[in-house]
């Protein structure tokens, strides 16, 4: 791996930047691996990296149907935070946030993690009570969280319409100062480069079409580039989780929906934190380039369609213009959608399955980007030891049978 540093940049610059090599190899699939990860999204690549780095498991392939980073890792709105309500979620998301804080150094790759703060605003008395409860729960779990008055919100984001005569009056908010955004593609590229350097094969244009088992144990995968034998398999395919699970005869409590986002033309910097409103279904932040990134809730029907319903756009823009009248004439540049894998309790599944050697990491729905480092870390542990780490034990598939759900709709449904 070519180390990225200032001296290296200068040295290579003097040679005309002609001797940089690609950040990762285009690997050909081998007939057999100790561990095969399906899906080169953020979570799959992070899993491969930590398997090689922390567990010495380097005979690993990451199989990707399309191109690396073409899934939700390249489509999300990049928000990172850890202010979830329940202990199980607080622990895993906060663990992840701590990894984010050192990730650029860890990977020698600038993931542009920017802790610009994350503001949740509340519009009703009840919502403020719920937010206060969540702040209390966060503080008990050692997560930074503050409850703000309308005045404090207004000082933080002066362009927010906090007049009492609006359609959505702002009664206050919560702030996680350590929250923020990261450069989502860089996260995929950084993990891919670091995993590749440790010997992991990243195989693009390789779709998994079948899962073979013998005596209740996974033996190999059928792919568009031939059969690949595997000691253990980790399915990390986000919106297509049910499709892959059904190849092994497993049913999941997951429904796939389009989730859309939009971006505007660039503006001068006008506000710092990410602003989210669960009640009016909108969130917004300004990128380093000055564009506004806007998002909302999912399209209601189950769908793998990547266009998204126009009504969501109408709804998002109406809400943004109410909250930020200053943006009413800003033009949109692009809109897109990704397929998100939504669980009934808005929490992920990081778990073994009834088939030995077959593991799943899915159900992150609208909010898995922030968990990329932590998810990869615990899933690597799960694959290496064939049993969960204490951090992901509560996120088992059988919680839907035992009833031990982790209901994070308040913290996760609209806010991503």
Partner 1 sequence: MLLIPCPWCGPREDDEFTFGGEADIPRPADPDALTDEQWADYLFMRDNRRGRHREQWCHTAGCRRWFIVERDTVTNEILGASTYGNSS
Ligand X SMILES: Cc1cc2nc3c(=O)[nH]c(=O)nc-3n(C[C@H](O)[C@H](O)[C@H](O)COP(=O)(O)OP(=O)(O)OC[C@H]3O[C@@H](n4cnc5c(N)ncnc54)[C@H](O)[C@@H]3O)c2cc1C
Q: Which residues bind ligand X (CB under 6 A)?
A: 38-44, 63-66, 70-73, 75-79, 207-208, 236-238, 240, 244, 259-261, 295, 338, 340, 364, 366-370, 416
Q: Measured from the CB atom, is 67 or 304 closer to partner 1?
A: 304
Distance of closest approach, residue 358 Cβ to ligand X, in angstroms: 14
Stretch of 97-105, 202-210, 327-335, 399-407 contacting partner 1, by CB under 8 A: 399-407
Hey, which residues does 351 pair with through a beta bridge?
A: 360
| 246 belongs to the binding site for partner 1 (CB under 8 A) | yes
| 256 belongs to the binding site for partner 1 (CB under 8 A) | yes
| 287 belongs to the binding site for partner 1 (CB under 8 A) | no
Residues 6+ apart with CB under 8 A from 83: 118, 120, 134, 135, 138, 143, 145, 174, 176, 179, 411
Strand order in the sheet with 292-298: 146-149, 172-176, 118-122, 274-277, 282-286, 292-298, 255-264, 332-342
Q: Give the C-alpha separation, 350 to 378, whole Å.
A: 8
| 255 belongs to the binding site for partner 1 (CB under 8 A) | yes
Q: Measured from the CB atom, is 357 or 373 closer to ligand X?
A: 373
Stretch of 5-13, 166-174, 179-187, 251-259 contacting partner 1, by CB under 8 A: 251-259
CB burial class (10 A; 0-12, 13-18, 19+) of residue 83?
A: buried
Hey, which residues does 146 pair with through a beta bridge?
A: 175
364 binds, among ligand X, partner 1, none (CB under 5 to 8 A by kind): ligand X
Distance of closest approach, residue 227 Cβ to partner 1, in angstroms: 22
Token pair 């595997």 is found at 230
Q: Give the C-alpha separation, 390 to 35, whole Å.
A: 21
Q: How far is CA 234 from CA 37, 61, 62, 153, 195, in A?
A: 5, 10, 9, 43, 16
| 409 belongs to the binding site for partner 1 (CB under 8 A) | no
344 binds, among partner 1, ligand X, none (CB under 5 to 8 A by kind): partner 1
Distance of closest approach, residue 388 Cβ to partner 1, in angstroms: 19
One residue of 83, 138, 150, 240 binding partner 1 per CB under 8 A: 240
Q: Give the C-alpha separation, 56 to 162, whole Å.
A: 54
Hey, which residues does 212 pair with through a beta bridge?
A: 220
Q: Measured from the CB atom, is 295 or 357 closer to ligand X?
A: 295
Distance of closest approach, residue 324 Cβ to ligand X, in angstroms: 18
In this structure, what token pair is assigned to residue 91? Answer: 């622990």
Residues 311-350: x where in contact with partner 1 by CB under 8 A, - otherwise, as a string = x--------------------------------x------
Distance of closest approach, residue 305 Cβ to partner 1, in angstroms: 5
Q: Give the C-alpha separation, 71 to 341, whole Å.
A: 12
Distance of closest approach, residue 295 Cβ to ligand X, in angstroms: 5
Residues 6+ apart with CB under 8 A from 1: 108, 193, 194, 196, 197
| 259 belongs to the binding site for partner 1 (CB under 8 A) | no
> What number of CA atoms fall less than 13 Å from residue 151's CA on the CB side?
0
| 136 belongs to the binding site for partner 1 (CB under 8 A) | no
Length of the chain: 416
- Local structure of 385: helix, strand or coil: helix
Q: Which residues bind partner 1 (CB under 8 A)?
A: 240, 242-243, 246, 251-256, 300-305, 307, 309-311, 344, 400-403
């Amino acid at each position: 791996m070519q180390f990225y540093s200032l001296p290296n940049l200068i040295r290579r610059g003097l040679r005309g930047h002609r001797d940089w090599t690609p950040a990762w190899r285009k690997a050909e699939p081998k007939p057999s691996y100790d561990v095969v990860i399906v899906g080169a999204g953020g979570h799959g690549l992070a899993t491969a990296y930590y398997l090689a780095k922390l567990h010495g498991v380097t005979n690993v392939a990451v199989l990707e149907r399309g191109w690396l980073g073409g899934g939700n890792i390249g489509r999300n709105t990049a928000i990172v935070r850890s202010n979830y309500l329940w202990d199980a979620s607080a622990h895993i998301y906060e663990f992840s946030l701590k990894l984010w804080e050192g990730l650029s150094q860890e990977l020698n790759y600038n993931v542009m993690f920017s802790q610009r703060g994350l503001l949740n605003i509340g519009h009703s008395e009840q919502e403020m009570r719920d937010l206060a409860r969540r702040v209390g729960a966060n503080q008990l779990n050692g997560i930074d969280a503050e409850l703000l008055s309308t005045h404090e919100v207004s000082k933080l984001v002066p362009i927010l319409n906090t007049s009492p005569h609006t359609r959505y009056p702002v009664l206050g908010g919560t702030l996680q100062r350590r929250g923020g955004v990261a450069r989502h593609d860089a996260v995929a590229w950084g993990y891919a480069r670091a995993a590749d350097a440790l010997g992991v094969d990243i195989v693009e244009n390789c779709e998994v079409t079948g899962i073979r088992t013998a005596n209740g144990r996974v033996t190999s995968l059928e792919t568009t580039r031939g059969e690949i034998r595997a000691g253990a398999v980790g399915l990390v395919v986000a919106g297509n989780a049910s499709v892959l699970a059904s190849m092994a005869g497993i049913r999941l409590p997951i429904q796939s929906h389009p989730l859309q986002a939009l971006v505007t033309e660039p503006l001068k910097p006008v506000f710092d934190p990410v602003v989210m409103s669960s009640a009016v279904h909108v969130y917004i932040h300004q990128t380093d380039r000055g564009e506004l990134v806007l998002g909302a809730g999912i399209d209601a029907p189950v769908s793998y369609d990547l266009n998204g319903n126009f009504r969501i756009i109408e709804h998002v823009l109406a809400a943004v213009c109410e909250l930020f009248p200053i943006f009413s004439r800003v033009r949109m540049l692009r809109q897109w959608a990704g397929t998100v894998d939504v669980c009934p309790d808005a929490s992920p599944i990081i778990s073994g399955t009834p088939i030995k050697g077959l593991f799943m990491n899915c159900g992150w729905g609208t909010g898995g980007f922030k968990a990329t480092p932590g998810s990869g870390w615990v899933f690597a542990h799960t694959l290496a030891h064939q049993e969960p780490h204490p951090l992901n034990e509560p996120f088992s598939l059988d919680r839907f049978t035992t009833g031990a759900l982790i209901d994070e709709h308040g913290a996760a449904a609209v806010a991503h």
